[in-house]
Chains A and B, each alone.
Chain A
Amino acid sequence: MFFNSYEFILFFLPITLIVFIFLSRINTEKAIGWLVLASLFFYGWWNPDYLLLIIGSMGVSYFIGTLINRTLQEKGRAKLILIIGIVLNLSLLGYFKYANFFLESAAYALSSNFELHHIILPLAISFFTFQQIAFLVDAYKGITKEYKFLHYALFVTFFPQLIAGPIVHHKEMLPQFMDRANMRFKLSNITIGLAIFSIGLFKKAVLADGIAVYASPVFALSDAGEQLQFFQAWGGALAYTLQLYFDFSGYSDMAIGGARLFGIKLPLNFHSPYKSLNIVEFWRRWHITLSRFLRDYIYIALGGNRKGRLQRYINLFVTMLLGGLWHGAGWTFVIWGALHGTYLIINHFWHFIAKALKLTFLETSKLWRGFSWALTFTAVVVGWVFFRASHFDSAVGMLQAMAGLNGVSLPYGIAAALGGFSSYIQIAGFELVHGGGAKFVFTYLWILALLPIALIMPNTQQIMSRFSPSFNDIEDNDKTTLLPQNPAYRRFKFQFNVRWAITLALTLTFGMLALAQVSEFLYFQF
């Protein structure tokens, strides 16, 4: 079931909430049981067959977690059980997500025709697998303990975060589920939850889906081997950059808002990532809970920065490579991960050099900050080209066009609208082509409208900050943020007034109206 669907908004969410409020007055355990049932129904709506998979996966991980808890005194045995638990979880993920990829790659390398039947990727498997691995590791470290399967099941399946995160920790969620105060009905939870959900719905259904129609056709052309032109390729790449941000951050807002209706605060997943002045900062702000998982359970497990600079860089690269592979079983995702691993190494190396050469004063220079932002943003856009393209050649084709190697052209219609100026354009070497004028104009109008929202406007967290919208809070780092704590943001703070009633009415209405169009979350099958 999609968050942006009539069945979710008009039926599932209200019914689940009303029954939950009723049951929570009687008995917390019954309310938790109801939420688990509702969450499984939510998951099974997509494909009931995979309900067995998620229930089985939970059962095994819960059992292993319990065993780890019981054997904590015997470190060696506990470690062995932990390894078995991790291997089982990864095997499940490996089979459903990567079996085809590895076999196809092997067949290609060996010039063989071997084919495996197509395995359908179960919804949310990457998310609930990571969440359960984190639980097992935390259990081994003695951070978490869980004795009731029902509680554990809610931790894994809680529907607002089940499908596409945020990836939550057991220690963040269980105390909230067990706190009777959270279970009690509070009007503020409904108001704040609905407000955040409405903003998320607007971001996803209106903004992300609105600009998507200018991104997908360009990538489709590139996938088909068409030679793109400069503005066409940049238009497609920038449109996708914005689509992805509003899609996923909109989804995360809906998850946070949806959970808040039940008195639960989920961790923040996005914090205006495109405002970052370097790539390290970008990863502190983009898909925060995944970055946190990769850092805590891969990067640090590999040794982190404890074994010298070179090993640190290797660890970074490997972590990002695996992060890329987590996003999808394909070489373009691996390249995307490798690219970001390389970016991070360069970024860390630059910090080292800048410190050694005492160049840190540059951080206050407006010109340098502008350059840093442009470099970071361009690097991210280049990365997204690999992330979106369906194969390597397509991504390279896009990047060639973006580099101007296929020439620069403008539609005749645009040139005609420019009047006398169009002759200068032709002298400058621009080629004039037939058709595409309206698409060109609308692509760049959408980009010009959405880019400032991502770069200048406060995000949902900042707008709702008075009401502690999420489990954690992230402060802007002045040195690495485009517009840190802009004083103008105060004017955007959410309050109970007529202006906000109208604003939210607009976001909710337009979001609901946008449901009548076909749409899908980009992160749904990762």
Chain B
Amino acid sequence: MNEKKFLKLWLSFAALLFCGIMGFNYVIDPYLLYGHHDLKGLNRIKPKAGTHSLQSKIHAAHRMAPDVLIVGNSRPEMGLNPAHSYFIDHNLQAFNLGQPGSGLSVQYGYALDILRDHDIKQVLISVDFLDFVTSADSTTDPRTWPPAPSDADKRRKYHWDGTENNAYFLQSLKDHYFPLIALSTFWDSLTTVANQTPSSSNLLANGFNPAGDMRHATTHEGVKALFGQKIPQVYNSFTMRKWQTDTPGYTGSPDLSKLQFLLRYLNNHNIETKVFINPYHINYLDIIDQAGLTSEFWLWKKRLVTLVAQTSTKDTITLWDFSDPTDYIAEPILKAGRTPLKWFWEPAHYSQALGDLMLDRMLGKPGTGPTDFGHPLTMENFARHQAAYKNKLEAYHQRDPEEYSHLTAQLPKRDKD
């Protein structure tokens, strides 16, 4: 072969291969970026989509133009199913916008973008104590507005004040077309094709994460191992700094102001809103207690109750609390073996089964769902629930002393301040 022919052949092969890989990435769509029809056994399960949800979910939500929006972090993403019977029965399209590992600026910024562009009828906002705490040495005035900019802001069509974001168009192009020519996407496309099994991680087109990987990890390593892995991480999260609910010198915090901004928008637009405190496994509540933060936990709840009462001028916003100690959140783990718990994957993440009960409670007719799990938290009943909390927690410690000892044995000894 002469040199000229070789060069032509080489570059032609390269061009063909390049285009072929782009086409393959587009068809497989490992990150849920294009929203085309997926094929069972080829790409219906998206094991790698979870790693790109910050990039893909907001675009997916715009594409779907939902009626109902679920907002929060990874807990509602794994727990609240947009295909729940309530939504189907009421002919409502729900989208789960839960953003794993993201702060409130992203969670609420993305939500506002969808709210501004689509006719949203109902919003479910999950709130997490750890997302709101502020450092004892923080000096940021909670009234500072708008929040500090972040990279994720480029993916929003609108700024906080509703003006158009000029960076959106270019970022949207990048988000959609850069992955087509990325080697990592090609590996992830191959991984997608090779991992079409129920045990794979997955993200559905409606934003729900069915937690197949959690089920697999539990059956593989056991409930105790998963809890054992997570407990030190959770404890570290609560003790890495001196946390408190209010910014020193103020009532409230910058993160509470973000929620206030979102709730005001929802109230002004008459959108039915359920704000709910996530359920935590009792181990998680005990860690909060061991970290010396129970009083701050309740002060945070107090701030939420007050905020909802002040903002909801048209009675469209309700606060629910699913974090009270009940049998649902106190499943024993020591003898659970490799069968997943019914309600929790590990201390912080609840299962779809529990999420279904939460939706029944919040959305169903009064009396639907278990009455001993979750309740509206109001100015009127706040003191009663707070007073009963410690006793309830203690009652579970006495019922399962081994479980409690097992937990405390995993936590490092902490100097009392």
Instruction: Point out residues on A near B: beta carbons under 8 Å.
Output: 187-188, 190-191, 194, 205-206, 412-413, 416, 434-435, 496-498, 500-502, 504-506, 508-510, 512-514, 516-517
Contacts and interface: CB of A to CB of B under 8 A. Distances in A.
Contacts of B17: 505-506, 509
Given A435-B229, A508-B14, A513-B21, A496 B2 contact: yes
Interface in B304-353: none
Contacts of A508: 10, 14
A191 B21 contact: no
Contacts of A505: 10-11, 13-14, 16-17
Contacts of B229: 434-435
A435 to B, nearest CB: 5
A205 B268 CA distance: 51
B183 A517 contact: yes
Contact of B6 (A413, A497, A509, A510): A497
Contact of A504 (B5, B14, B21): B14
Given A501-B9, A508-B14, 7 more contacts: A190-B7, A191-B6, A434-B225, A497-B1, A498-B1, A505-B10, A505-B11
- Which of A191, A205, A435, A517 has the largest number of chain B CB atoms within 10 A? A435
Given A434-B228, A516-B181, A413 B220 contact: yes
Given A191-B3, A505-B17, A513-B183, A412 B225 contact: yes
A430 to B, nearest CB: 16
- Which of B7, B14, B182 has the largest number of chain A CB atoms within 10 A? B14
8 contacts: A434-B228, A434-B229, A496-B5, A500-B6, A505-B14, A506-B17, A512-B181, A516-B179
Given A513-B21, A513-B181, A416 B221 contact: yes
Contact of B183 (A190, A206, A412): A206
B185 to A, nearest CB: 8
Contacts of A501: 6, 9-10, 13
A502 B21 CA distance: 15
A497 B3 CA distance: 9
Contact of B7 (A187, A514, A517): A187
B184 interface: yes
Interface string B14-36: 10111001000000000000000
A496 B183 contact: no
Contacts of A517: 182-184
A187 B184 CA distance: 34
The 10 closest A-B pairs by CB, nearest first: A434-B229, A505-B13, A516-B182, A513-B183, A496-B6, A505-B14, A501-B10, A514-B183, A501-B9, A509-B17
Contacts of B225: 412, 434
A213 to B, nearest CB: 10
Given A413-B221, A514-B183, A516-B182, A509 B21 contact: yes
Contacts of B7: 187, 190-191, 194
Contacts of B129: none
B7 to A, nearest CB: 5
B189 to A, nearest CB: 11
Looking at chain A's contact residues, is the secondary structure mostly helix, strand, loop, or mixed?
helix
B178 interface: yes
A195 to B, nearest CB: 8
B4 A187 contact: yes
B186 interface: yes
Interface string B176-200: 0011011111100000000000000
B296 to A, nearest CB: 27
- Which of B184, B185, B226 has the largest number of chain A CB atoms within 10 A? B184
B381 to A, nearest CB: 40
A219 B273 CA distance: 46
A516 B10 contact: no
Interface in B63-78: none
A516 B180 CA distance: 9
Contacts of B181: 512-513, 516
A435 B226 CA distance: 8
Interface in B87-123: none
Contact of B9 (A434, A435, A498, A513): A498
Given A506-B17, A517-B182, A416 B220 contact: yes
Contacts of A513: 18, 21, 181-183, 186
- Which of A412, A497, A500 has the largest number of chain B CB atoms within 10 A? A412
A509 B21 CA distance: 9
Contacts of B5: 496
B221 A412 contact: yes
Given A187-B3, A435-B229, A516 B220 contact: no
A517 B178 CA distance: 9
A512 to B, nearest CB: 7
B182 A504 contact: no
- Which of A413, A513, A514 has the largest number of chain B CB atoms within 10 A? A513
Contacts of A190: 7
B186 to A, nearest CB: 6
A509 B9 contact: no
A210 to B, nearest CB: 8
A500 B6 CA distance: 9
Contacts of B226: 434
Contacts of B228: 434
Contacts of B11: 505
Contacts of A412: 221, 225
B58 to A, nearest CB: 20
A463 to B, nearest CB: 15
Nearest to A507: B14
A512 B10 contact: no
- Which of B182, B186, B221 has the largest number of chain A CB atoms within 10 A? B221
Contacts of B220: 413, 416
B3 A509 contact: no
A501 B229 CA distance: 49
Contacts of B182: 513-514, 516-517
A514 B225 CA distance: 37
B24 to A, nearest CB: 11
A508 B21 CA distance: 13
Contacts of B183: 205-206, 510, 513-514, 516-517
A429 B15 CA distance: 54
A435 B225 CA distance: 9
Nearest to B174: A516
Nearest to A496: B6
Contacts of A509: 14, 17-18, 21
B318 to A, nearest CB: 38
A434 B230 CA distance: 9
Nearest to B220: A416
B3 A188 contact: yes
A496 B18 contact: no
A505 B6 CA distance: 11
Contacts of A504: 10, 14
B12 to A, nearest CB: 8
Contacts of B4: 187
Contacts of A510: 183
Interface string B356-394: 000000000000000000000000000000000000000
